[in-house]
Amino acid sequence: MKKLTIIGVLVVSALGTLFHFMYDWLPIIIFPQNESIFEHMKLVIFPFFFYYFISLPFYKGDSKELFASFFSAIIISMFFIITSFYTYSGFIGKSYDFINIILYFIAVGLGFILIYKKITLVQFSNSVIFAIILLALVILFSFYPPNLSFFI
C-alpha cells in the first residue's frame, strides 16, 4: 500500500498538471474549460478516479474500502483547495498561480494520506451514491454553470 500511495501522489499530481492544459487540445468534459475554481476541481476528481481504477488490480485489500477512501480523499482535497484558496486570496486580496499550484500538490498529498490510512467519510454504498451525484453535478455545471464567481 505504501508503494501505491507514493506512486499515486506522483501520478495524480502529474495528471492534474497535464489535465490543466488539455482542454485546448482535446475539449472533453473531464478537463477544465476555464479558470474558475469549480472547473479546477476536475483536476482533483478525475485524476483520483483514474488512479483508483488503475491501482485496483494491485491493491490487496477490500476494494470497497479503497473506493470509499478514494472518494473521501477527493472530497477532502476539494474542500482543502476551496477553503485555502478563498482564505488566502481573501486575506491578500488577489490570487497567485504559484500558491494555487502549491495548494493543489498539498491537497493531493493530503488525499493520499487519507487513502493510505484508509480513512473514510462514508461507507462504500454511500460513497458510490455520492460519487455518482458528484459526477452528475460536475457534468451539469460544466454545461450550465450558475452565474456565480465560483463557476465562472
Give the model confidence (pLDDT) of 47-70 as tens digits. 999 999 998 888 887 788 889 999
Tell me what pLDDT residue 86 has: 93
Tell me what pLDDT residue 114 has: 92
Query: CB–CB of 52/43 below 8 Å?
Result: no
C-alpha cell at 88: 488566502
User: What pTM was estimated for this model as a whole?
Assistant: 0.89
Q: How far apart are CA 74 and CA 115, in angstroms?
A: 10
Phi-psi region of 62 (alpha: psi -120 to 50; beta: other; left: phi over 0): beta
Instruction: Give the number of other Cβ atoms within 10 Å of residue 33's Cβ.
Output: 16
Torsion on CA atoms 5, 129, 120, 78, rounded to nearest 10: 70
**Cα 37 to the center of its chain, rounded Å:** 12
Tell me what pLDDT residue 59 has: 85
Tell me what pLDDT residue 32 has: 84
Tell me what pLDDT residue 19 has: 85
Tell me what pLDDT residue 73 has: 95
Tell me what pLDDT residue 31 has: 83
Q: Which residues of the chain have pLDDT under 70?
A: none
